[in-house]
Amino acid sequence: MTTGQTVKGTDIRRLDQMKASRYFGCNTFNERTMRECLPREVFKALRASLRRGEPLAPETAQGVAQAMMAWALEHGATHFTHWFLPMTGATAEKHDAFIGWDEPGVVIEKFSGAQLIQGEPDASSFPSGGLRATFEARGYTVWDATSPAFLMENPLGTTLCIPTAFVGYHGEALDNKLPLLRSMEAVGKAALHALGHFERKATAVIPQCGPEQEYFLVDLELARQRPDLTFANRTLQGARPPKGQELEDHYFGSIKERVLGFMQEVELACFKLGIPAKTRHNEVAPNQFELAPIYEPANLASDHNQLLMEILKGVGERHGLAVLLHEKPFAGINGSGKHVNWSMATDEGHNLLDPGRTPAENLQFLYFLGAVLKAIHRHGGLLRAAIAFAGNDHRLGANEAPPAIMSVYLGTQLSAILDAIERGDVAEATEKQLLDLRLGSLPALEKDATDRNRTSPFAFTGNKFEFRAVGSSQAIAFPLTVINAAVAEALDAMNVRMDEEMAAGKPTRAAAMAVIREAVTATRAIRFEGNGYAEAWAQEAERRGLPHARDTVAALRIWEEPASQEVFARAGILTREELEARVHIRHEQYQKAIAIEAQVLREMAETLLLPAVMDDLAARADALAKLAAAGVPAPESLRAALATQARLAGVAQDRLAALKEAMVAADAREDLHARTEAFGGPVRHAQELLRDVLDQLEKDCAASRWPIPVYRELLAPL
């Protein structure tokens, strides 16, 4: 640990030497702290209203607020803020000092129950997708007591952050959190109902998530010299480096000291905030890394991933490192994603996607597996749409990331079992039949299975599904909301069928097997075990009728399909208006992302790169003239090289003009879809053409004259 800064009165180095379990979560006002700090009655009232999902009584809120403030002050906090997840995908906060007048001129520390449970940030500048215009201009933040309040430390001071949901005057969701919470409730209820048919008992079912986060590190000094990295989070120009990832020597390689120091400080910050950062390693591309946490309830995983992204950037700056979370910071080199691992567990921690040890448990497992298959079969398109944005377009469907076609990978063993069920080899699900199929010993076999398929966007990995197509910079809340909503719908439908079968007199096992068989048979098209990168799969998927939205422009249309609106509306997760608002924001964000990139590239080309090329040309021409003046006729090859460079510079100038024209034309479009198409089509295309020729010019230009750090420098080992 290189920083010797003081944290909460404790030298960071001393904390580092303590066992993590001793300080894990020390900066959160978690249940244990509340139990210690709150008066008994207040704690009981809080827990009861949390369990029932009811609002807090004012006295309870007041009691919690006083204890929370005392705790925060004791830990050096000076300010508090409601912390929320607006639809930008980032986090938002507005700080208030813990001060108020006691009597005129006399300040004391103040914080009230009302301030804890509700705030009214000036919300007019957050994207609302037109929601506030149609309702009311106000927006409120409302305490989300399911996620503990935490202390955000900064070398200059500490702030108490209170996780909140952000809602409009009529309760319409203006953020990413409220829909996630609603979707968790919907799938939890449906799963609980389903469990009623099996032996396993539970009082609640909670979706779980462990998001693996990939990122790049670049020396901060170098990154700051690149306008593209500064403003667009990725390089918009750059010729391939002499050494990329072809040697495959970075993956799982030993972690360099400078990087390890950074990672250790990140983990320390995570542990203090109760973020269970578990695994760290080098990724495939040079200077690419990954952090994976232990899984936890989906809403916590989402809050924690947002915090993690902030921590990575903040700690990176202190270590002189720029943390790139973009999906494709460097052309020609692997991009970054976020593998969102998802499962469902009972309140006692029993994983419903665990195949289990006995045939009876396996039947229950197959029921939930069938529901996930149904969910992805019906809403694979929506799942694709949930991860569609400008950054992810560079990754999906390329030869490294999952394809843009959603399919489910199960592995040979599970596939064989489902095939047998489909054929009717397992009709009644007797103990013997299940054992014949080796269902009784599924977990051991599945764990050892080596047929992992890295090309599948949605893969079963032993006891969870891994959604691999989420972008590395993306908020995971919405993808999680879609999975939860789709599985809730599927489970509800299966539960209805199950009730029908049982009402018709079938015993539970036979009824369950009939419903599972229906689900498996109906969803065959979504199962794919082969190579997702192959062109043959795109054709095969088309034959199967699976949606294939190649880019954001195409994917955004899926949001507007009736099935998409229905899956959210039926469970009260998003009303039609709330969904429309999100579609609108997605369009705007996409247009803005491309407009910014085009603008930055234009400026780089016009004010940095082309002037450098002209200087280079002039210097070379000068050298040739001087040679001639000295009576040494310049060799033809040198003159030809100069001519080529001059010609390319001319091409660049033309393409620059074309880019500007495309930008003006796109900007003139008013219709939402037409505008998105103009930015995603002609502007992006013009940008790529300009980049191509600039990359060629970079290779010809004298290194001393090229004005920005090149890939070789950006990707040099740290």
**Which residues make up the interface to Mg ion (CB under 5 A)?**
339
CA gap 490, 390 in Å, rounded: 30
CB closer to ligand ADP out of 275 and 573:
275
The four Cα atoms 620, 625, 629, 632 give a dihedral, to 10 degrees, of 60
Strand-pair category, 321-324 with 205-219: antiparallel
Q: How far apart are CA 471 and CA 476, in angstroms?
A: 9
The answer to the question of residue 446 lying near ligand ADP (CB under 6 A) is no
Q: Nearer Cβ to ligand ADP, position 387 or 612?
A: 387
Stretch that binds ligand ADP, among 6-14, 161-169, 206-214, 574-582 (CB under 6 A): 206-214
> What is the rounded distance in angstroms from the CA atom of residue 452 to the CA atom of residue 61?
50
What, of ligand ADP, Mg ion, none, does residue 464 touch, CB below 5 to 8 Å by kind? ligand ADP
Residue of 264, 282, 261, 283 whose CA lies nearest to 272: 264
Any contact of residue 299 with ligand ADP (CB under 6 A)?
A: no
Q: Choose the stretch contacting ligand ADP; rule: CB under 6 A; options: 339-347, 395-403, 409-417, 582-590.
A: 339-347
**212-231: which residues touch ligand ADP (CB under 6 A)?**
212
CB of 409 to Mg ion, least distance (A): 13
Written as one string, the DSSP assignment of 464-495 is SEEEEEEETTS-SHHHHHHHHHHHHHHHHHHH
Q: How far is the CB of 12 from ligand ADP (least distance, A)?
A: 26
Q: Kindly list the distances between the CA atom of residue 629 and the CA atoms of 165, 614, 621, 626, 643, in Å, as whole numbers in the listed order.
A: 75, 22, 12, 5, 20
- CA gap 168, 174 in Å, rounded: 6
Question: For residues 438 and 61, what is the distance between their CA atoms, to the nearest angstrom?
Answer: 54
Does position 341 interact with ligand ADP (CB under 6 A)? The reply is yes
Is the Cβ of residue 110 or residue 200 nearer to ligand ADP in the bound state?
200
Closest CB to ligand ADP: residue number: 210
When the beta carbons of 468 and 517 are compared against Mg ion, the nearer one is: 468
Indicate whether 582 belongs to the interface with ligand ADP (CB under 6 A): no
The least CB distance from residue 293 to Mg ion, in Å, is 12
> Is the CB of 208 or the CB of 676 nearer to ligand ADP?
208
Least distance between ligand ADP and beta carbon 464 (Å): 4
Closest CA to 484 of 359, 383, 339: 383
Strand segments, DSSP code E, in 67-223 are 77-84, 92-97, 99-103, 106-109, 118-119, 139-143, 149-154, 157-168, 205-219
Question: With CB under 6 A, what is the number of residues at the site for ligand ADP?
Answer: 15
For the record, the structure tokens of 696 come out as 């060629």
In terms of CB distance, is 159 or 343 closer to ligand ADP? 343
Does 552 engage in binding with ligand ADP (CB under 6 A)? no
Q: CB–CB of 218/287 below 8 Å?
A: yes
Is 464 near ligand ADP (CB under 6 A)?
A: yes
| 601 close to 659: Cβ distance less than 8 angstroms | yes
Q: How many angstroms separate the CA atoms of 548 and 539, rounded? A: 10
Is the Cβ of residue 177 or residue 464 nearer to Mg ion in the bound state?
464
Question: Which of 113, 127, 210, 355 is the binder for ligand ADP (CB under 6 A)?
Answer: 210
Does residue number 484 form part of the binding site for ligand ADP (CB under 6 A)? no
Cβ proximity to ligand ADP, 158 vs 306, nearer residue = 306
Residue nearest to Mg ion (CB): 339
When asked if residue 208 is in the footprint of ligand ADP (CB under 6 A), the reply is yes
Listed residue (146, 151, 182, 180) closest to 164, CA to CA: 146
Considering only 264, 433, 463, 508, the residue that binds ligand ADP (CB under 6 A) is 463
Residue 343 touches which member of Mg ion, ligand ADP, none, C-beta under 5-8 Å by kind: ligand ADP
Q: Which residues of 23-47 are buried (b: 16+ CB within 10 A; e: fewer)?
A: bbbbbbbbeebbeebbeeebbebbe
**Contact flag: residue 63 with ligand ADP (CB under 6 A):** no
Beta-ladder partners of 157: 154
Q: 458: how many CB neighbours lie within 10 A of its CB?
A: 25
- Cβ 281 to Mg ion, closest distance in Å? 11
Q: Which helix (H) or strand (E) holds 188?
A: helix 177-195
Q: Which two tokens stand for residue 38?
A: 């709150």
Residue 112, contacted partner among Mg ion, ligand ADP, none, CB below 5-8 A by kind: none
Among 63, 293, 391, 411, binds ligand ADP (CB under 6 A): 293
Position 294 contacts ligand ADP (CB under 6 A)? yes
Cβ-based neighbour number of residue 350 at 10 Å: 17
Please, which residue, 344 or 579, has the CB nearer to ligand ADP?
344
Nearer residue to Mg ion within complex by CB, 144 or 283? 283
Site membership for ligand ADP, residue 281 (CB under 6 A): no
Q: Interface with ligand ADP includes 351 (CB under 6 A)? A: yes
Q: For 463, phi and psi rounded to 5 degrees?
A: -155, 20
Which lies closer to ligand ADP via its Cβ, residue 371 or residue 390?
371
Site string (372-411) toward ligand ADP, x via CB under 6 A: ----------------------------------------
Are residues 509 and 427 in contact, defined by beta-carbon separation less than 8 angstroms?
A: no
Q: How far is the CB of 512 from ligand ADP (least distance, A)?
A: 22
H or E stretch at 345:
strand 337-346
Find the shortest distance in angstroms from Cβ 209 to ligand ADP. 5
Q: In the bound complex, what is the minimum distance in angstroms from residue 447's beta carbon to Mg ion?
A: 14
**Best CA proximity match to 287, nearest among 239, 242, 319, 335:** 335
Residue 292 contact partner, candidates ligand ADP, Mg ion, none, CB within 5 to 8 A by sort of partner: ligand ADP
Closer to ligand ADP by CB, 38 or 491: give it. 491
CB of 15 to ligand ADP, least distance (A): 24
We find the least distance from the C-beta atom of residue 144 to Mg ion, in angstroms, to be 28
Helices then strands, each counted (H, E), the chain: 28, 20
Count other Cβ atoms within 10 Å, centred on residue 637: 8
Stretch of 217-225, 458-466, 508-516, 536-544 contacting ligand ADP, by CB under 6 A = 458-466
Binding site for ligand ADP (CB under 6 A): 208-210, 212, 292-295, 341-343, 351, 461, 463-464
